[in-house]
Amino acid sequence: MIIDLPATTTSQVNSKLVHLREQGGANTIGRVLTLVIVTDDSEKTEDTIDAANYASREHPCRVIVVARGAKKASPRLDAQIRVGGDAGASEVIVLRLYGPLSSEGASCVIPLLLPDAPVVAWWPFEAPASPAKDSIGRLATRRITDSAADRNPPKALEVRAKGYEPGDTDLAWTRLTLWRALLAAALDLPPNERVTAATVSGEADSPSAELLAAWLSSRLRLPAKRVKAKSGQGIVSVVLERKSGNIEIDRPDGAVGTLSQPNQPDRRVALGRRAVRDCIAEELRRLDPDEIYDESLKALNKVDRGGRTATPRKKTETPKKVRAGAGT
């Protein structure tokens, strides 16, 4: 059910919600958090709401979409309430803000936050330089940004690193979870040797590749190399060098990864690029600060970015060839 409330106020929205609850039964019971999505009003807004609805199946929540409309207009708040089938398993309140209101999202959001429940803020596209200092970000325990959606992703990552406050997280980091799980699982197995070098190869502007190299630098205490791949999307390969042989994950086609370890046959694993909806569902699972993300952000400047491009590697090639390009 979709209810439109044009040119309205938040107290009218609240009254409507109470009315819907009384009329329609338990629509707002059992919500575990409020998800505030801050975006510009555009055709991309619906996709974002879709992703939130999908995630809400795991975490029943109230979704408030702050959609900034035309700045040069008279101040107006249009609200739209979606419950039941049109809202997945959550309830969605879309607030379209016009004129000077468009930068006053926080004032419209505060009255609609669920009592007692934590708040999560998500900027699916452009994000403020310091999310924690943003007026909506201040209301939230967890702040989700997406540097891959920024115009200049590697620069965006640096901005994140500078403005990091506990509770910040970025979808470029979430997209790494399966890669990190595979690498950690590969290192669980004998021989338990130190990793002596690491190389991450990926698309030129992939923030996930940067973060992966940073994470490896931080955890392995060495300058991981970040090389730009000539072809392939996202992260193309990761190599961990050890005395007895390398651990490699190659994913040239953006879909299937091949894990190679010494004395083991190659193993293939589905390693597709994760959709936003799955990333959001993962982000909502824990609302405490992600210290490992923090440490990885701080390690971005430890990554060795020599500027070489990697040639697509055959299995028999050893990374020593790549390292032979001396200097940084």
In the chain, how long is the greatest CA-to-CA distance?
A: 72
- Options 23, 26, 72, 327; binder of other proteins; rule CB under 8 A: 26
How far apart CA 32 and CA 305 sit, in angstroms, is 42
Stretch that binds other proteins, among 15-23, 41-49, 126-134, 251-259 (CB under 8 A): 251-259
Count of other CB atoms within 10 angstroms of residue 311: 14
Query: What residue has token string 């590969």?
Result: 186
Give, for 254, the enclosing helix (H) or strand (E). Answer: none
* DSSP code for 171: H
257 binds other proteins (CB under 8 A): yes
Can residue 187 be called a binding residue for other proteins (CB under 8 A)? Answer: yes
E-assigned strand segments in 152-297: 168-170, 197-202, 225-229, 235-241, 247-250, 256-260, 267-270
Rounded CA-CA distance 62/116 in Å is: 13
Residues 75-94 that bind other proteins (CB under 8 A): 88-89
Residue 326 in the binding site for other proteins (CB under 8 A)? no
Contact pick of 66, 81, 171, 259 for other proteins (by CB under 8 A): 259
Q: Which of 291, 314, 326, 327 binds other proteins (CB under 8 A)?
A: 291
Question: Among 23, 30, 115, 314, which residue interacts with other proteins (rule: CB under 8 A)?
Answer: 30
Select from 131-139, 155-163, 205-213, 257-265 the region that touches other proteins (CB under 8 A).
257-265
Q: Which is nearer to other proteins, 162 or 221 (CB)?
A: 221
Distance CA 160, CA 187 (A): 29
Gyration radius from the chain CA atoms = 22
List of residues contacting other proteins (CB under 8 A): 26, 29-30, 57-58, 60, 88-89, 174, 177-178, 180-185, 187-190, 192, 195, 219-221, 255-257, 259, 261, 264-270, 272, 281-282, 285-286, 288, 290-292
